[in-house]
Amino acid sequence: MRSFAPLIVSLLGAAAAVSAAEPAADAATDGNVLALTGETFNDFVKEHPLVLAEFYAPWCGHCKSLAPKYEEAATELKSKNIPLVKVDCTTEEELCRTYEVDGYPTLKVFRGPDSHKPYGGARQADSIISYMTKQSMPAVSILTEETLGDFKTMDSIVIVGYIGTDDKTANKSFTAFAESQRDNYLFGASNDAALAKTEGAKQPSIVLYKDFDEKKAVYDGKLDEEAILKWVKVASTPLVGELGPETYSKYMAAGIPLGYIFAETAEEREQFAEEFRPIAEKHRGEINIVTLDAKAFGAHAGNLNLEPEKFPAFAIQETDKNAKYPYDQSKKLDAKEVGKFIKNVLDGKVDPSIKSEPIPEEQEGSVTVVVGKNYQEVVIDNDKDVLLEFYAPWCGHCKALAPKYEELAALYADVAEFKDKVVVAKIDATANDVPDSITGFPTIKLFPAGKKNEPVEYAGSRTVEDLVEFIKQNGKYEIDGLAGGKKATEGGDVTAVPSASSTEAAETPAASDKKEEVHDEL
C-alpha cells in the first residue's frame, strides 16, 4: 500500500501533520510497535494526537495471530505519523482495568488518555491501515484538481461530494452523512463545477470511487442521509465479493439476501465470480453474491442446509429472517441455471428450506418442545406469552438449567387458568432453524402476546423465582406463576429455589467441551 503522508499534509495542514515523535526513552520497541506500561502510557497518548493501542496477553492465540498483521500496519502507518502500541495486560493489570479490557486482544483508538473508543475494523493489516487513515482525516477533506488524484487512491473506496458553495442544504446533508460514516469511508468535497464535469458528474452529486468493478459510481438523487447510505451500501459492494472473517459482518448487515458460492480452490472461485458477475449486475441492490473458500469454511454450508462436504455448491440466505434456500446439489453449478433459481427466490416462488426435527407426536413433561416446523405455530401465531429457551444438547449450563426450567413450566402448565395464557418452551437451536441468530446457550426470550415481533431477552439469574418475575413483568397477562402454584396446592408450601448470586453467563459453542462440534469462524 502506498504512503500518502504528503497528501495528508496538504489536506490537514501543518498543525495536524505532527511530525513523528521519537519513542520515549522508557518505551520499548518491538519492530514498529511500541510496548507501553502503566508508567509510560498516559504521557505517550498525550504527546500523540492519534494512537491505536492493543491490550493483549502473551499466551493469547488470537493475539499471536494478530501480531504480524499489527506490525505490518504499524510499519505503514509510521509514515503517516500514526503510532501503534501494545500493552501486556498480564503485567499491567491496573492499566487494563482502567480501560475496561475484558478480553484479548482488545484494540482501542486514543485521542489523549481521556478520549478513546473501540477499534471498529477487521483484524487485518489493510483494514487497520484503512481504518486508522480515516481516523486521521477530517470528516470531509476539501479537494482541488491537484489533490483529487491522490485522494482517490488513498483507500479502496473513497466518496467525493461535488456540491456548489451556495447549496447550503446539500452541503449540510453531505457533511452530516460523512460525520456518521467516517469510520467506514473516506470523504472529500469540491465546489469546482468544472472538476465535477471532468469526473462525469454535475452539481450537486456524489461520486464513489473504488478499486474494483466499474471503478466509480455516480449518485445525483435526493441528498438525504438515508437515501445516500442506501446507495453507498450498494455501490461500495463488489458485484461478486469474497466472503471471509473480515467481510462477513458487512454482508450480514447489508439488509438484503446473500448468495453463497462454495468452491474449494482459488481458481474455481475466480471462475465462478466471472460467470456470476452478469447475474449480480442484473440483481444489484436485490441480492449480494459472494464466493467462499469451501476448504476453510465448508462447515458453514451445513448452516445453510447444504450437504457440507459436497462442493461446489450454492445457497441463498435472507439474512434478516434467517431463511435459507439451498440450490439442488445433485445439479451442476451452472451460472445460467442458478440465475433462474436466484430470480425465483427473489420473486417469492421458492419456499425456504427448514431444518427441523420431527414434530413431537405428544408433548412429554411440562416444557413444550418446539422444532423448526412448528416454531411459527407454537411461538408466534397465538395469543400466549411464550418463554422460549434456545439450547444446545452439549451445553453444560443448559443441562444445569433443565430441572429448574421444568419446575418453572409446571407452575403454568398445571394450573388451568394459566396454561392457555403462558407457555414455557425450548428448542434445540443446533438441530432446528430459528429466525434469529443465537450466539450463546442457553438464550432465553419471552415472546409476549400481541408483541411477538418484540421479544424480550432474559438477562437475570437462572432461578425459578426470577424467571417467574420476568414473565410477570414482561408478559401481556402479568401472571405470577408462584402465586398460582400456591393456589393449586391449596395453601401448601412452594419449594424454595436458591437464588444465584449473580447472572450466569451463556455458554458459547467455543466454551463447550464437546470437541467434535465444528464451528467455523466467519
For the segment 121-177, what is each residue's pLDDT rounded down to a tens digit? Answer: 889 998 899 999 989 889 999 999 999 999 999 999 999 999 999 999 999 999 999
Identify the CA nearest to 427 among candidates 454, 455, 392: 392
Give Cβ neighbours of residue 268 (< 8 Å, ≥ 6 apart): 312
Identify the CA nearest to 161 among candidates 213, 223, 237, 231: 223
Please identify which residue in the block is written with the cell numbers 478480553. Answer: 103
Q: How far apart are CA 418 and CA 472, in angstroms?
A: 12
| Grid cell locating 57 | 496477553
For the chain, report the end-to-end CA distance as a whole number of angstroms: 25
Question: Can you give the pLDDT of all 522 residues of the chain as single tens digits?
Answer: 333 333 333 333 333 333 333 444 344 555 899 999 999 999 999 999 999 999 999 999 999 999 999 999 999 999 999 999 999 999 999 999 999 998 999 999 999 888 899 998 889 998 899 999 989 889 999 999 999 999 999 999 999 999 999 999 999 999 999 999 988 899 999 999 999 999 999 999 999 999 999 999 999 998 888 899 999 999 999 999 999 887 888 898 888 999 999 999 999 999 999 999 999 999 999 999 999 999 999 999 998 999 988 999 999 999 888 899 999 999 999 999 999 999 999 999 999 999 999 999 999 999 999 999 999 999 999 999 999 999 999 999 999 999 999 999 999 998 988 989 999 999 999 999 988 778 789 999 999 999 999 999 999 999 999 999 999 999 999 999 887 644 433 333 333 333 333 345 566 554 433 433 333 335
Buried b (16+ CB within 10 A) or exposed e, 348-387: eebebbebbeeeeeeeeebbbbbbbebbeebbeeeebbbb
pLDDT of residue 492: 35
pLDDT of residue 436: 79
Contact 315, 301 (CB under 8 A): yes
Q: What string of H, E and C letters represents the secondary structure of 236-303?
A: CCCCEEEECCCCHHHHHCCCCCEEEEEECCHHHHHHHHHHHHHHHHHCCCCCEEEEEEHHHHCCHHHH
- Record the pTM: 0.66
| Grid cell locating 286 | 436485490
Q: How far apart are CA 207 and CA 205, in angstroms?
A: 7
Q: Alpha helices of 325-450 — where are they, by DSSP H?
A: 335-346, 375, 396-413, 416-419
Please say whether the structural domain 138-236 has been given the CATH code 3.30.565.10.
Answer: no
| Grid cell locating 108 | 482501542
pLDDT of residue 507: 65
| Grid cell locating 29 | 520497541
Percent helix / strand / coil, the chain, rounded to 5? 35, 20, 45
Q: Which CATH class is domain 368-474?
A: alpha beta
Per-domain residue ranges of the chain: 34-134, 138-236, 240-347, 368-474
Q: How far apart are CA 289 and CA 340, in angstroms?
A: 14
* Options 3.10.20.30, 3.50.30.10, 3.90.226.10, 3.40.30.10; CATH of 240-347: 3.40.30.10
DSSP β-ladder status, 33-35 and 258-263: unpaired
Contact 431, 355 (CB under 8 A): yes
Give Cβ neighbours of residue 70 (< 8 Å, ≥ 6 apart): 33, 54, 84, 86, 125, 128
Buried b (16+ CB within 10 A) or exposed e, 28-54: eeeebbbbbeeebbbebbeebbbbbbb
Identify the CA nearest to 468 among candidates 400, 409, 393: 409
Angle, alpha carbons 363-364-366 (nearest 5°)? 90
Q: How far apart are CA 77 and CA 51, in angstroms?
A: 10
Identify the CA nearest to 327 among candidates 265, 377, 255, 279: 279
Angle between helices 396-413 and 481-488 (to 10 degrees): 60
pLDDT of residue 498: 33
pLDDT of residue 506: 60
Give Cβ neighbours of residue 174 (< 8 Å, ≥ 6 apart): 140, 161, 163, 187, 189, 204, 206, 223, 228
Q: How far apart are CA 134 and CA 136, in angstroms?
A: 5
* Options 3.40.50.300, 3.40.30.10, 3.20.20.70, 3.40.50.11540; CATH of 34-134: 3.40.30.10
CB atoms within 10 A of CB 240: 25
φ, ψ for residue 279, nearest 5 deg = -70, -40
Give Cβ neighbours of residue 57 (< 8 Å, ≥ 6 apart): 63, 88, 89, 90, 104
Q: Which residues are catalytic?
A: 60, 63, 395, 398
pLDDT of residue 522: 52
For 340, counting Cβ atoms within 10 Å of its Cβ (0-12 exposed, 13-18 middle, 19+ buried), the class is exposed
138-236 and 368-474 in the same fold: yes
